Structure 1
Amino acid sequence: MSRTQPAASSDDQRTVLGIRHSPVTGTIPPGACDCHVHIFGPFDRYPLAENRVFMPGLASTDDLLALHAALGVDRAVVVQASPQGTDNHCMTDALATLNAAGHASRGVAVLPPDISRDDLRALHAAGVRGARVNLQSFGQQDPAIVRDALARTAEQVA
């Protein structure tokens, strides 16, 4: 089985947390959007954050395009993944590749605390329309930290 072809049965699929997936049946409506995808690698071009809590496998834009072609999906939201930290280049490059291929795509970025207005404008120009605050990925559960991070992010994008 390759990354871009469905497994022969749900027993053959690697899953997160042991969850088993059912085969896709029926048709997906035109204009369907895969609303939360991640792109990983190549890691020599897009290194992962030092403080990541897991090591993802490679998942390229070509893999995503092949999967979406097989499923009949023509839009996507590429979400900055926690192992990538606040370096959004993999996500924004993926947006450029997907949109150039006619695959209407938008992005969700993770913002560094010191992001400039120019960098925010560049993210917007690249197709980013959302900001992600994902503290759980780094073991943060303190409500005060969460509240402060949400307030800071809201101020950054206001």
Structure 2
Amino acid sequence: MIDTRTYPRIAILTLSSIKLISAAPTNEVPGRGVLCLGTFIYFVEKTEQQCRAGEDPEFQARIASYSKRFDDYIVRNTGGDPAVLEKFKEGQNLNSEDRRYICEGDAAESYDGFKSADAGELDRAVDALLAKNGPPSFGDCV
């Protein structure tokens, strides 16, 4: 099952993009940090969908690809039930339709941070984090 320890959403969303990318531990227990970086990716994707559709097609396609990879990893490593993923996203308030919550403040800043991050570095961080199967957890990225 998913490690659902409560982390303040504000703290997660206000990390710098450098810290976000370094949230992917390369020599640690498989699955550790997946929920942390995955949550950032999901918020960036949600911001794109609700607030910035079509503005940055290449960046948004890359984020959508990451999001799909995190979805697949989480479902595969929590028993194969997509309902577990949906419950996790609901618990992180990722299903919010509140435009102010998604389009302003911390969520919008996360989008900008990821957009300005080095694409190759982010690709490598996602690849390393998702390279080995293991129970997804937040790890210690906050």
The TM-score with structure 2 as length reference comes to: 0.29
Whichever structure has more helix as a proportion of its residues is 2
Larger radius of gyration: 1
TM-score by length of 1: 0.27
Relative contact order, CA 8 A, sep 6+: which one is greater?
2
The structure with more strand, counted as a fraction of residues: 1
